[in-house]
Structure 1
Amino acid sequence: MADLCVSLAAVGGAVLLSEALRRAAARLVPGPGPYWTYLLEAAAAFQLCSCTHELKLLSEAAPPGLPLGLALTYVVTAVHLSTFRGAACNPCAALESVCRGRSGVGAAAVLVACQFAAAVAARFGFRCFDPLGGTLLEAAAAELGCAFAVQAAAMHAHKLDEKLRVHFIAAVVTALVYAGGGISGAMFNPVLAFSVQFPCSGHSYLEYGFVYWLGPALGMASCILLFEKIIPFLSGESANEPKCSQKWLIRR
């Protein structure tokens, strides 16, 4: 119980610190604008990675049990969604924006650089070991499937009442953590994986890149292809851009 209280305090501290950074940025940097967006993404990525680091430490030092662990995942995910202010803190979202023509390559590159810089700053520096519970192909498939499911949920969340969207996405993320956590850790976010999983021994950066970068990118791309191209083509409908973008694509 003491470990749980310490971890919850650390998670709360990370959220409060990130919120303080967002509020300070709102006063110092006029928004909306590119610099405001970069600061939001950096603060969100730092919050996401710090909280996940702490929850991972808790699960390794004093496992809270499955029901409590999933409850923590759900609550922390809901907090992230409620405080990120539209930040995606996921390079896949930046790639999606470029592909849709909503963002230039240069602006997307700067945004991704801010995300990765925040992910490095959030590293705890503890020693960890092989995070994969399966082969490289199994882990990559798990990350692909998780990213596909979250992207699909994000693309259809606008159909729900606005008050239910946060809880819907949080429930989906929690279910995916339960389903894929034992295989790959269920990161489905390249920035988060770079901060949490890449420092662990057991595999090379190239192998981790195959699992945690290529897997989610293919999952996102295949989901968009299915729902915006293949299904409309088969049904004879015109493909329309979803009302809900990958701004919802976050991680616990």
Structure 2
Amino acid sequence: MLYTNTSAMKATLCLVATLVLVTACSDDDEASDDTVNPREGYITGKVVDTQGNPIAGAEVVIDNTMFYNNNIIVQTNANGLYEAALPTVGTYAVSASIQHTLNNKTYTLDLASDVTDVLSNEGGVVNFEWKLTGKKPEDMTGYFGASVSVNGAIGSEIYDPENIIFTLEPVGELIDGSKGKTLTMRTGEPYSAEYGSLVDIPLGRYIMTASYEQDGKTISLKIRNMFDASSVYSTSFQLNFEPETVAGDNMAIIEYLE
């Protein structure tokens, strides 16, 4: 005769069910630490760096496009996550930026979004990525990289600056801590949006040189900061980008002379 201890079986089943429940809750809690959870009526998302690691303290701006100067501003947590509850009326454009210091200068850097459409008050998920280079979407202007405004000094007889070849050799790490590479660049052609500018440069410090072909000979040009009276012309110029200038942010303004 088979003897069954009903009380013992019930206790065992209860223990197993409890363990399963605890395990499931633990898995969900762990996943929620670094996973975006969509919520109706909220805008949520994650912000990562150039290596895909979460960024804490990134600023996310949710702009109510129906009402002037009616923004919601939140910051990402230690896992790069953010969420913001939305009012019942409005449509929303979402942007994000970070601040990062390099060579004792603090730069504000726009982040790339995976959603460029305006969202309703039902909410949605908008993630962001830090990019060193690349064209910004249509609702923004310019590039994620830095830029250089190139100008001829008084006395220069070069009237085709698009034919000047600039070489930028990185000094130290780029702003994201990665290793840069040597760049060879020209400005845009006349009548183009990029005429007189070098654009989309990974932000860092560089040694800049410039050469120009004149009468069949290649000559080295001298460069300096345009609006810095203490800056001395040199054929080997240390290029540093400024967080703010009269012409824009994260750029340098230089002038050349033969």
Query: Structure 1-normalised TM-score?
Result: 0.23
Q: Which has the higher helix share?
A: 1
